[in-house]
Amino acid sequence: MNRALSTVAFLVVIFIWQCAIYFFNIADYVLPSPTKVLLALKEMALSGLLMRNCVDSLFRVTWGFYIALFTAIPLGLLLGRSEFFRRLLNPIIQFLRPISPLAWIPMALMWFGIGDLPAIFLIFLASFFPLVVFTMSAVMGIRPIYFRVAENFGLSGLKLYLKVILPAALPGIIVGIRITLGTAWLVIVAAEMIAVKSGLGYLIIDARNSLRMDMVIAGMIVIGTVGILLDNLIRYLERMPSVEWSRKRR
């Protein structure tokens, strides 16, 4: 039922789009018709341009996001459990977190030059601080009774983190991953418009410079589609039995 409603909503948007072009006589270089955008998608797909740029964007997002994932989550677990480290590091994290990753573009270009590295660095920044905060908040929200039971069983140190803290905080961490991955996908598109010579962001800028607005909108559609696929992937993780169990026990 939900998918049917979503399909109807998309069809209505396309119908309004087509009607606006017909009744207001909008030129193609301002807003191309849905048919021309579809033909542009076909052209890019057949030429290999679409796949090549999608792969480049996903490559950068994957590296930047995974580096953030494997550094931010352990730090968030530590900060959520240790008041000392939380008081020491949390002010710095809260100071850096509101700074837009795009503000780091000039420094990223100076440090890494043109290529994949500056984009990966920007993705890392966009993902690291939110993941730390989400993980820390998830750990601080664990019910105290879990720790009392763990103490009775003699769990401490690494075993406490692996057997109690991480499983109990997992639902909150998964939510953080889902939100952060969406942000990372937004940032990579913006970064590719400036810092690299490939990817979906670069594709849109290059098409705009060529006055190919049909390719611009086609690129936007691909960005939205990939974003939905990435979100659905994380939502699948939320339905894992261990995550569902942890959520119900909180």
Domain-by-domain residue ranges, the chain? 1-31, 32-249
DSSP 82-100: -HHHHHHHHHHHHHHTTS-
Number of helices (H) and strands (E) in the chain: give both, helices first.
Answer: 12, 0
Fold for 32-249, please state it: MetI-like fold (1.10.3720)
Alpha carbon dihedral 81, 83, 85, 88, in 10-degree steps, equals: 150
Question: Could you tell me the two tokens for 137?
Answer: 């908040």
Identify the pLDDT of residue 143.
85
For the segment 184-217, what is each residue's pLDDT rounded down to a tens digit?
998 888 888 877 888 998 899 888 888 889 999 9
What span, in angstroms and rounded, lies between the C-alpha atoms of 19 and 14? 9
* Mean predicted confidence (pLDDT) in 117-135: 93
Which residue did the predictor score with more confidence, 29 or 137?
137
Query: Among all chains, which residue has been given the structure tokens 């490939």?
Result: 198
